[in-house]
Structure 1
Amino acid sequence: MTPTQLRTFAAIARHGSSRGAAGELGVSEAAVSSHVAALRKELGDDLFHRSGSGLAFTPGGLRLAARAVEMLGLQDRTLHEIRAAGEGQRVLRVAVSSLFGEIAAPGLIELFSSRADDLQVEVSEWSPDQFARLITARIVDVAIGPEAKSAGDGIHTKQFLRYQLVAVVGAQHALAGRKLKPAAMAEATWLLGPSAVDATSSVGRMLRHFRVPEARQRIFPNHAAALTEARQGHGVALCPAHSATAELADGRLVRVDVPGAMVDGVWATFALRRDDASPLANEIIRFVSTPRAIQAMLTGSGANIARFKPRVHVTLWS
């Protein structure tokens, strides 16, 4: 099996068709068919059959699809680590949820990466429902974000920080200073960050609690932009209570006075079981619960996540 054949088969599994795989890879359907034929001959398995509703994979084909993703992820990781090793660098790849990435990751990653000159940290932003896949495929070493009820087989989860998400408005907003009934929240304009699209997030839970229709939701590229709009009186925003303490104290922001306008959340680490995880993954998992790390996450580093030191590489994924 060659990496090209595996990459082709993984693309077929993702798209459910040879045409979709060809489009992703930028090759002809004939080239895709050629790679599939070579795999079938080598493995002695049909791998999949065409049916009226798409492709039906054999048990061997399903297993190959899963293994292909893992092997390609390991190959990419190995190539990257070899290049980094040639430069005398260790590499830690971290996936983060959007809210954690914006609020807490800058302080944590800057402090962690400053502990050693040979350490390179790569941070990428993903939806939490992708964490298990990324870890299993070894695309990342560790993921950090909201706790999940079921992280998946072989994934170890460790809680390390609780937070409270509160609904706020600008001082001049019509809802400021009023005692409200829950129904009023469904009629307000909500100014939200990317985590609003994740139904399992704290933001998603609050939107469901108030039955906020999609027509009343405005989603911004980041949570800071949503909060800026809220300061100007354009709607209701959500933010961790600890990050808005000063503005709540001086009146720039006002907490919405309605039952349910605060929800508890827990951030956790996700990685392979201790014996299978990389040494750096185990190291940062231990580090996140230390007092220094907690302080850094709560107070921040003063740097935007995209403005870390050069050795910290940030990639944002849609």
Structure 2
Amino acid sequence: MTPAQLRAFAAVVRLGSVKAAAADLSVSEAAVSTHIARLRGELGDKLYARTGAGLAFTPGGLRLAGRAAELLGLQDRTLLEVSQAGSGRRLLRVAASSLFAEHAAPGLIELFASRADDLDVELSVQCPERFSTLLLNRAVDVALGPRPAEVDKAISAAPFLNYQVVGVVGARHPLATRHASTSELRQQTWLLGPSATGRTGIVPTVLRRLNLDEEHQRIFQSHAAALEEAKHGKGVALGLSFAVAEDLARGDLKRLTAPPLPAKGVWSSLALDGPSAPAAVSELIRFLTTPGAIQAMQRSAGVTAGRFRPAIHVTHWS
């Protein structure tokens, strides 16, 4: 099996047709078909057949589909490590949920990267539901954020920080000085960051508990932008208790007194088990629970609303 053959097969699996795979790989359909034919010959398996409903994979094809992305990810990781060995530097690729990436990751990673002169850290914002896939495919080395409901048995997960989310409104908002009922909360405009669009984490959990209609939700590019709107009395926002502490102390925001708030959550680290993981992964996981790391996460200045880009945000620390 060659990498080109595996990439062709993985693209067919992902996109559902040879034509779409060829377009994605910028090659001809004949090239993709040739790669698949050679895989079939080498493995002695049809891998898949075309049906009226799409592609039907054989048991062997399904097994190869699971391995192809993993093998390609391992190849990319190996090439990266060889390149790093030549340059004398290491790269740690971190995936993080949007709430963690915006408010806790900057201080944590800046401090962690400063401890090793040969280490670069790359942070990307990802949905927690994708953590397992990214780790199994070797697309990232470690994931930080809420633990997904389902985690592959090859992945170890360890909690490292408890946190609290509170409801806040501007000082002149009608709810700033009185208790609100659950039914009244459902009629408010909720100003939310990108974490509200997922299924995993404390923010989606709060929204489900409230049974909040979508028409009352406004999703912003960042959690900081949502909090800024709340300061101007535009609605109710959710914020990490340590991230809004200064705004509450200054009186720019008022804490909401209403169920089901405040709500408690836990951030965890996820990484592949076994000795193949980069040494920097175990270094980071050990570092996460140290007093210095906890202080760095809770005192992080975060990033501004204008700089945060959840869909494509990648930041390097060195």
Q: TM-score, normalised by structure 1?
A: 0.92
CA displacement, residues 58-110 of structure 1 (integer Å, 9 cap, x when unaligned): 11111111111011111212222222222210111111111000010001100
1:62 aligns with 2:62: yes
Task: Tell me the residue number matched to 1:156.
Answer: 156
Counterpart position of 1:43? 43
Q: Which residue of 2 aligns with 1:228?
A: 228
Please name the residue that 2:310 is paired with.
none
> Structure 1: where are the runs of 5+ without partners?
308-312
Aligned to 2:26: 26
SS of alignment partner, residue 187 of structure 1? coil
Q: Secondary structure at the residue paired with 1:277?
A: coil
- Runs (4 or more) in structure 1 with deviation over 3 Å come to 301-307
Q: Which residue of 2 aligns with 1:214?
A: 214
1:249 Cα deviation after fit: 2.0
Do the aligned partners of 1:112 and 1:284 also contact (CA within 8 Å) in 2?
Answer: yes
**Which residue in the other structure is 1:263 paired with?**
263
State how many pairs are aligned.
Answer: 311
Residues 179 and 258 of structure 1 are in contact (CA less than 8 Å); yes or no, is this contact kept in structure 2?
yes
The structural deviation recorded for 1:305 is: 11
Change (3 A) 1:303 1:208: closer
Q: For each residue in 1:231-253, what CA deviation from the matched residue of structure 2 results, as whole angstroms up to 9, or x when unmatched?
A: 11111111111111121122111
Per-residue deviation, 1:304 = 6.2
Is the counterpart of residue 130 in structure 1 residue 130 in structure 2? yes
Unpaired segments ≥5 residues, structure 2: 308-312
1:53-132 equivalence runs, <5 A: 53-132=53-132
Q: Given the superposition, is the C-alpha separation of residues 134 and 302 from structure 1 closer, same or farther in structure 2, using an over 3 Å criterion?
A: closer
| Equivalent residue letter for 1:6 | L
SS of 1:271's partner is strand
What amino acid is aligned across from residue 188 of structure 2 in structure 1?
A: A
Contact 2:164 2:265 in 1 (8 A): yes
Contact 2:113-2:120 within 8 A present in 1 as well = yes
Pairs within 5 Å for 1:298-317: 298-300=298-300, 314=314
2-structure distance, mates of 1:251, 1:260: 23
State the Cα distance separating 1:301 from its structure 2 match: 5.5
In 1, the alpha carbon distance for the partners of 2:215 and 2:21 equals: 35
Give the SS at the match of 1:65.
helix
Distance in 1 between residues matched to 2:95 and 2:79, nearest whole Å: 19
Residues 87-96 or 293-302, more deviating: 293-302
Q: Distance in 1 between matches of 2:212 and 2:301?
A: 34
Q: 1:306 to 1:84 in 2, by over 3 A?
A: farther
Note the aligned Cα RMSD (angstroms). Answer: 2.0
C-alpha deviations, 1:285-308, integer Å up to 9, x for none? 11100011001001016766999x
Instruction: Report if aligned partners of 2:221, 2:305 keep a CA contact under 8 Å in 1.
Output: no
Distance 1:137 1:302, change over 3 A: closer
